[in-house]
Amino acid sequence: MPELPDVEGYRRVLASHGKGHRIERVEVADAGVLRGVTARRLARDLGGRRFGEPERRGKWLLGTTRDGGPTLLMHFGMTGNLVCDPPDAPPQPHDRVTFALDDGHLLRFRDQRKLQGIWLAASEADVERVIGDQGPDALSMGRGQLAQALSGRRGRIKGTLVDQSVVAGLGNLLSDEILWQARIHPARQTARLSKDDQRRLDTTMHRVLRDSVKAGHVPTRRSWLTGRRYDDDPHCPRCDGPLSTTRAAGRTTAFCPACQPEDGRG
């Protein structure tokens, strides 16, 4: 599932291959990924435009265009990605929309399950209406801002971290990894985290994000929870105790009962 590090990687793809290039044509192979815009309008409004500097806001990728043109918004759901192919590369089965550039390269929005998709915004106000009420971007948060975002929040910490209105960009893998490295049980009540818990969570979030953005995804290192959670018999990389799974915030959540005791005394 694409999370902040993956989308940051897609932003780099768009910056490296799209910025400054003219969109010669837009080919919509499957209009099922279009949200609030028709294939005809997408092609008409983007054709001839040049991509500007792309932005990432949480899990959203914004493909700005120059000279006051519209903004292409992409959300990758669970299975989406953005690739740049050479001119002669054949399309793949899940290529939904292709942007043909003036240098011949093909930017392709590829998505198997089509849970999210592509929007087109004419103005910054339209961008905000599409994105909604997001919290601060996790990667751009300064030290101490996480504690501010968590202040006054009810519910369990796992659900709080994946709530995009609290912190934008964290998903299931990132939140589990951060909580495991910070030794905080996913079912702990957010309001009952101590100042030390909050500081540890803040430091850990920045470290995990830094390493994940560098890798382009949450790393599957054997020293990380993410590198063990899908083993046939998963054990904690830290204490070698068996890992457990539960449902939290509607997601399958992995944790170590020994390293992440629910009473917070670990």
| Domain chopping of the chain, boundaries | 4-131, 138-255
Can you read off the two tokens belonging to residue 145?
């801002």
Tell me the C-alpha distance between 15 and 11, whole Å.
Answer: 6
- CATH fold of the domain at 138-255: Helicase, Ruva Protein; domain 3 (1.10.8)
The catalytic residue positions are: 2-3, 59, 251
Whether the CB-CB separation of 239 and 259 falls below 8 Å is answered with yes
Do 4-131 and 138-255 show the same overall fold?
A: no
Tens of pLDDT along the chain (266 residues) come to: 799 999 999 999 999 999 999 999 999 999 999 999 999 999 999 999 999 999 999 999 999 999 999 999 999 999 999 999 999 999 999 999 999 999 999 999 999 999 999 999 999 999 999 998 899 999 999 988 999 999 999 999 999 999 999 999 999 999 999 999 999 999 999 999 999 999 999 999 999 999 999 999 999 999 999 999 999 999 999 999 999 999 988 889 999 999 999 987 65
Cα distances from 62 to residues 55, 95, 113, 190, in angstroms, run 5, 19, 21, 31
Domain 4-131 CATH (choose: 3.30.70.890, 3.40.50.620, 3.20.190.10, 3.40.50.2300): 3.20.190.10
pTM of the full predicted structure? 0.95
Task: Give the pairing type, strands 71-75 and 60-63.
Answer: antiparallel
